[in-house]
Structure 1
Amino acid sequence: IQRRMQVPRAGSTGQDALDHVTSLIESLLALLSAPLLGIGVGSPGIVDLSGAVISAPNLEWTGVPLQATLSERFGVPVVVANDANAAVLAEHSFGDAGAEGDLMLVRVGRGVGAGLLLGGTPLYGSCFAAGEIGHVVVGTDPGELCSCGKHGCLETWLAVPRLEAKLADALLDAAPDATPRAACDSILTEAGTRLGIVLAPIVGALNLSEVVLSGPERLLAGSLIEAVRETIRRRTMEQFHGGLTLRLSTLGDDIVLRGAAVMVISSRLGVS
């Protein structure tokens, strides 16, 4: 990674969010000191193979032809994919992924999504929504309202803003003699259990060799990932979970950036 830049989103949606994307690219292009091979973008939501964002509830995007819009605007090849699909390519290329290539990467940020590789090949699904686990309702309790309109989606338990808000409330409500860890453990364990409930049937159906969590280590490590591990163990046969590797990604905040680079290099040079 040669340069990095952030533009505060400040809750922007729709055209305003698209303008932020364009502005960020313009600022980065102004810093270029080498020929530009292409532009890679990892976007939230469901993204088809033409790079159009079919649906991204958190950004209020529906049917946004992001790849075509950016390509026309900047006059260079552009590749747009779901951010979790970009991230799983980065994990496969630069991370600690096994050689089998049967990998699921769960991306936890403002939302929750997953990218899947089977035999090293990306899995997109019939409507390009493979891995959209964030909008799967978990459990029979009503749960909080999700941005998609349903109640109790995985995102309402696991997305970083929601999780941090619950942890802050837990600390405020904790007994005076309670340690911060004790106050937060039940929240993190519950989130991990809900994620494990979603992952268990996927692990069983696909017989995955590896599941990788990507997101803030301060939230995902410890109680949360151990709850995921235990829930998968309880809900699947030994043949499924016995050889499963469950771990955190080591690629940090750059994982989607690296995945976007992989997409451009692969599409332009045929190198994966």
Structure 2
Amino acid sequence: MTTTTSPRRATAKVRPADTRRHHRTLLLQHLVDEGPTTRADLSRATGLTRVTVSDLVAEMVQESLVEDIGARPGTHLGKPATLVAVSDAAPVIVAVDLSDDSGFDGAVVDLHGRVLVRERAPFSRGAEAVDGVSRLVERLVEAAPRRVLGIGVGTPGIVDDSGVVIQAPNLAWDAVPLAATLAERHGLPTSVGNDANIAAVAEGAFGDGDDAGLLMVTIGQGVGGGILVDGHPVAGPLRSAGEIGHVVVDPDGSACACGNRGCLETVLSAPALRAAASDDARRHAGDLLGSVLTPIVTTLGIADVVLHGPTDLLDGPVLEAARAAVARQSLPFVAQRIRIRLVAHDELVLTGAAALVRHRELGVV
């Protein structure tokens, strides 16, 4: 990522063999960030020669990644400058969200993050869940209006870089090679990420999130957390950064799916909040959430905390109590600058899963 423009651009040293792909990524990233642009402006913005830009654009036109969309409005003198844009016929992405406690959501998503097709499958656990996800992917691939670039999945739990779900207690998954399994069954590149992490990326890329510092809390069958700092998701060496759902808040509390007792998600998950019908019980859950959030936002200096889950459960006592707990447990300087808010965008994990594939396959963030 560069430090002079968008903090989301990559800066990894490019090997000679990767030069062409790197240059394509520069052009695509600029078109995604800035919209339709002329070849001359692409050359100036990326530092590539006009010959290189024309060659790469022609290649991507052939692949239906970009297209010419006509002259720039207001051009009168001389030969009109032709605008290049991400193509409306570009490949699409199959995205799956496993965070909901009532079922699995799937969608066909375009490169702009727009949902074109929606599908849903029943919630399940263990090997049955893997098969259910695979059937959902199959339906989505069949429904896709054009070529599928890849499959993206957002799942609760700890996920490694190769798409193995190391542990997801609420799905009864341990060491499940989800990415490899789906790639083998469907013949498509597959990327799997933690649902809260990719939701944080989506809120930073497509929503109103502060990608300089954002904490995403996903609340569904369980409770997860995703951290975004300087545009980068933070996973840590154990790949478990943000797993706040399994912080013990009451050692004498209810048994948790992870094997401990009194984890945060035993009081804050969607099923727990539905069972806690009274405002006092939900206020208590919000207070515990705030106590868990405070050391994270204080230590990392994060000012944007986003709760993603059922609005009917989180709005009101839960949100108010979480805000109050953070305010009273933080330095006034910190408390006055933190915003804790709800996002009702039910497609956030889906668009995050699509963004994961877009990055892995095209280099675009």
TM-score (norm 1): 0.90
Distance 1:44 1:37 in 2: 23
Tell me by how many angstroms 1:241 deviates: 1.7
Cα deviation for residue 83 of structure 1 reads 0.8
Q: Which residue of 1 aligns with 2:355?
A: 262
1:194 aligned partner? 288
> Is residue 205 from structure 1 mapped to residue 316 from structure 2 by the alignment?
no
Letter in 2 for 1:160: A
In 2, are the aligned partners of 1:210 and 1:246 still within 8 Å (CA)? Answer: yes
Contact 1:52 1:66 in 2 (8 A): yes
Deviation at 1:232, TM superposition (A): 0.5
| 1:137–1:153 CA contact under 8 A, matched in 2 | yes
Residue type matched to 1:143 in 2? G
Percent identical across equivalent pairs? 47
Confirm or deny that 1:33 pairs with 2:145.
yes
Offset of 1:195 from its aligned partner? 0.3
Cα distance in 1 for residues equivalent to 2:337 and 2:225: 20
> What whole-Å deviation, never above 9, does each CA across 1:105-131 have from its counterpart, x for those lacking one?
000001000110011111001110011
- 1:59-98 matches, cutoff 5 A: 59-98=171-210
Equivalents in 2 of 1:67, 1:241: separation in Å?
40
Structure number having the greater helix percentage: 1
Task: Tell me by how many angstroms 1:215 deviates.
Answer: 0.5
CA contact (8 A) 1:91 1:249 kept: no
1:87, distance to aligned residue in structure 2 (A): 0.7
RMSD: 1.1
Q: 1:125 aligns with which of 223, 236, 242?
A: 236
Alignment-derived partner of residue 237 in structure 1? 331
Distance, in Å, in 1 between the alignment partners of 2:311 and 2:129 is: 27
Whole-angstrom distance in 1 between the partners of 2:341 and 2:273? 20
How many residues align structurally? 251
- C-alpha separation in 1, matches of 2:145 and 2:209: 32
Separation in structure 2 between the aligned mates of residue 250 and residue 147 of structure 1, nearest angstrom: 27
1:154-177 Cα distance to aligned partner (Å, 9 max, x none): 00010001110121xxxxxxxxxx
Residues 95 and 250 of structure 1 are in contact (CA less than 8 Å); yes or no, is this contact kept in structure 2?
no
State how far apart, in whole Å, the 2-side matches of 1:242 and 1:206 are. 16
| 1:1-272 pair list within 5 angstroms | 1-9=115-123, 12-98=124-210, 101-139=212-250, 142-167=252-277, 184-251=278-345, 253-272=346-365
The gaps in structure 1 that reach 5 residues or longer are: 168-183
Instruction: List 4+ stretches of structure 1 deviating above 4 A.
Output: none
Larger Rg: 2
CA offsets 1:120-154 (integer angstroms, 9 cap, x no match): 111001110011110110145x1111111111100
Structure 2 unaligned regions, length at least 5:
1-114
Q: CA deviation at 1:67?
A: 0.8
Q: Cα distance, 1:97 vs. partner?
A: 1.1
Secondary structure (helix, strand or coil) at the match of 2:121 reads: coil
The residue identity in structure 1 corresponding to 2:361 is R
SS of aligned partner of 2:276: helix
Distance (whole Å) between structure 1 residues aligned to residue 257 and residue 125 of structure 2: 12
Deviations along 1:85-113, whole A, 9 cap, x unmatched? 11111111111113x52000000001000
**Separation in structure 2 between the aligned mates of residue 266 and residue 259 of structure 1, nearest angstrom:** 10
Question: What SS class does the counterpart of residue 105 from structure 1 fall into?
Answer: strand
Counterpart CA distance in 1 for 2:207 and 2:359 is 17
| Structure 2 CA distance for aligned equivalents of residues 15 and 139 of structure 1 | 31
Kindly provide the CA deviation profile for residues 214-262 of structure 1, in whole angstroms up to 9, marking residues without a partner as x.
01111111211110011001111112222111111142x2111010111
Measure the CA separation in 2 of the matches of 1:107 and 1:94: 17
Bigger share in strand = 2
C-alpha contact 2:117 2:144 (8 A) present in aligned 1: no
- Residue 68 of structure 2 is matched in structure 1 by none
Whole-angstrom CA distance in 1 between matches of 2:285 and 2:315: 12
Contact map agreement 2:217 2:307 (CA 8 A) in 1: yes
